[in-house]
Amino acid sequence: MTEALLTASKPELLDKEGDRTLRGVLYDYFAFGRSLEACREIFANFVDLSTTQYLILIAIKNSTAEEPMGVNQVAERLYLSGAFVTNEINKLVSDGLLEKSPHPDDRRRVQLTLTQHGLGLLTRLAALQRPVNDALFGMLTRDEFKVLSQLLSRLASNADSAVKLAEHVKATLKSQEKKGSAANLPVPRRKRRATLHNTR
């Protein structure tokens, strides 16, 4: 495969056959991602929540007294904007699934906790999640699962930078293509004659 057709350039991502392994990883990842999205929608629909609201409740369920979660912590954990998470949290508070209380160490912040209604909802949901998550990840050993957790954490932390880079490079390449197209346009007839006259 010629270098111009390669979809990566780092040696770690390439092999003797070019980028075939990388493409295989991405195809498998996209297929698994679609399954995760489908399961998440099923989970959220089961308890009459949006997928984002479902994720927020799960994230807050896993907070601790030593590390209570506020809006910013939830947004960071889910890789979502603070404004969007705030709107969804307010809906969950209105529905009686979450409650806000002052942070014990910083009165300017709030901490979020599940209400009894919220806990009951997640208890009901867990009966659906357990067999599905076992099916999604059950073929991995404990060591493989730990490695997967570490790798995905590293990949997720860098993903936003990659998206921003994609937008920047796309704009740069589009600009270069437009300039190249303009340079290849035929010279208007009158201007071409004038050019020939001046070179005699």
pLDDT digits over 157-197, tens only? 999 899 999 999 999 999 998 888 766 666 666 655 544 45
When the pLDDT of each residue in the chain is averaged and rounded to a whole number, the result is 88
Query: Is the confidence at residue 34, as pLDDT, over 70?
Result: yes
Query: Is the confidence at residue 13, as pLDDT, over 90?
Result: yes
Residue written as tokens 């979809």?
7
pLDDT at 193: 52
Q: For residues 28 and 2, which has the higher predicted lDDT (pLDDT)?
A: 28
Query: Is the confidence at residue 16, as pLDDT, over 50?
Result: yes
* Predicted structure pTM score: 0.77
Alpha-carbon distances, residue 117 vs 81, 89, 93 (angstroms):
26, 15, 11
Alpha helices, H only, 17-81 = 20-46, 51-61, 71-78
Query: Is the confidence at residue 132, as pLDDT, over 90?
Result: yes
What would the two tokens of residue 67 be? 């590390």
